[in-house]
Amino acid sequence: MTQHAPLIIDIAGLSLGKADRRRLKHPLTGGIILFARNWKDRQQLEKLCAEIKDIRDDILICVDHEGGRVQRFRTDGLTHLPPMRALGEQWMQDQLAATNAATACGYVLGAELRACGVDFSFTPVLDLDYGESGVIGDRAFGRDPRVVSLLAKSLMHGLLQSGMGNCGKHFPGHGFVKADSHIDIPVDTRTLKAILKDDAAPYEWLNTTLSSVMPAHVIYPKVDALPAGFSSKWLNFILRSQLGFGGAIFSDDLSMAGARLIGGVEVSYTQAAIAALNAGCDMVLLCNQSVGEGKPVDELLDGMAEALLKGQWEALEASELRRLALLPQTPALEWDELMVHPAYMHALGLIP
C-alpha cells in the first residue's frame, strides 16, 4: 500500500523545472492542480501531463474547469462551456432539454480535458445562488436545491461517460454569504436546520453520485466556530455520518484568506494542512505558491513530512484509496479521435 499522499500542489510554468520534478517525487505529493499559466496550447499541455505521469503515474492531474468564467483552458479548439446559470435558465424553459444539455456539458468538459492528459476537474458547483455572492454568482445552477441537484447529477453523468470523477463544492454552501473567502473569512449565521434544508440538501441527495467534495472556507458559528473545511463536526459527523457521503474530501486552497486564520489564530500552510487532515479532509490544496522559487511549497512538503514523523497527523490508508479512486479507470480518446466521435459530436449540438 502506497503511503498516503495528501498534498495537491502546483507548478510554475509550461513545462517541468528541476524543482517541480523534485516536488513531484516527494512521497506526500498526491496531485497537481493546473492554471491558465500552465497552458499554451493542446500540444504543450499534453506534453506537460505526459512529463508528470512519467515521474509518477499515480499523480492526480487536476484543474478548475467549470465553464463560464472559471475555465482555465479556452483556446486551440477547446469548447467554451457556458456558466452553470445558463443551464438553470434553460431549465425554466424546458426541464428535459436542460438535463440533456448538462450531461452534454459534462461529457465535453471531461472528454476534452482527458484528451489533453488531465485526470480531474473540480466541478460541479453545488452552491445556491441567492444573488448576493459575487464569487459564486453565475457559477451556480440556481437558487432551488432540487434544480441544482438534478442539473448537477446530469452534468456528473456526462463526466462519468468521459471517464472523469466529480467534485461537489463548496460544502455546506458558499452562496448565502457576500464575502469572498479568497480575501476574507465569510460568516454564515444561519442555523444548522436552515442550512441542511437548503444549501446542504444536494450533498445528501447526491451521496450515491458524488466522488469527492470540497468544503467552504466559511464559518457557520451556530454549528462550529471553525470554518467547515477545518471542522470535524461538519466533515465527519454531518457530511459523512448524517448525509451519507463516502467519497474523497479536498480542502479548498490553503492560501486563501479563509484558511489562514483558524480559531482566531493565524496559521502557517503546514498548520492549516494538518488541521484540515485531522478534521477529516483526505487531501489539501496549496495553489499559486510555486511561482518564483516556490519556497512555500517546499516548506509545506518538509513541514508535513516532519509533522507525520511527530504524529501530528496520520497517513490513512482509506484516504489514499479515496485519492486513487479519482484516477480515470478507462483510456482516454485522443483529440483527433474525439473530434469525430459520435457521442462527442452529438453532445456539442446540445450545449447552450
* Count of Cβ atoms closer than 10 Å to residue 156 Cβ: 25
* Contact residues for 302 (Cβ-Cβ < 8 A; gap 6+): none
Burial grade of 216 (CB within 10 A; 0-12, 13-18, 19 or more):
buried
Given the residues 41, 182, 184, 298, select the one marked as catalytic. Answer: 182
Residue with cell 489564530: 265
170 annotated as a binding-site residue: yes
Integer Cα distance of 257 and 242 in angstroms: 29
Query: Residue 154: what residue type?
Result: S
Given the residues 127, 188, 198, 252, select the one marked as catalytic. Answer: 252
Sort strands 219-220 and 224-227 into parallel, antiparallel or unpaired.
antiparallel
295 annotated as a binding-site residue: no
CB 305 within 8 A of CB 298: no
Is residue 182 among the annotated active site residues? Answer: yes
64 annotated as a binding-site residue: yes
Please name the helix (run of DSSP H) or strand (run of DSSP E) that holds residue 258, with its range, or none: none
Per-residue HEC secondary structure of 280-337 comes to: CCCEEECCCCCCCCCHHHHHHHHHHHHHHHCCCCCCCHHHHHHHHCCCCCCCCCCHHH
Closest CA to 67 of 56, 55, 78: 78
* Count of Cβ atoms closer than 10 Å to residue 341 Cβ: 14
Is residue 252 among the annotated active site residues? Answer: yes
* Count of Cβ atoms closer than 10 Å to residue 105 Cβ: 29
CB 119 within 8 A of CB 61: yes
The residues that are catalytic are 182, 252
What residues form the annotated binding site for substrate?
64, 72, 139, 169-170
What residues form the annotated binding site?
64, 72, 139, 169-170
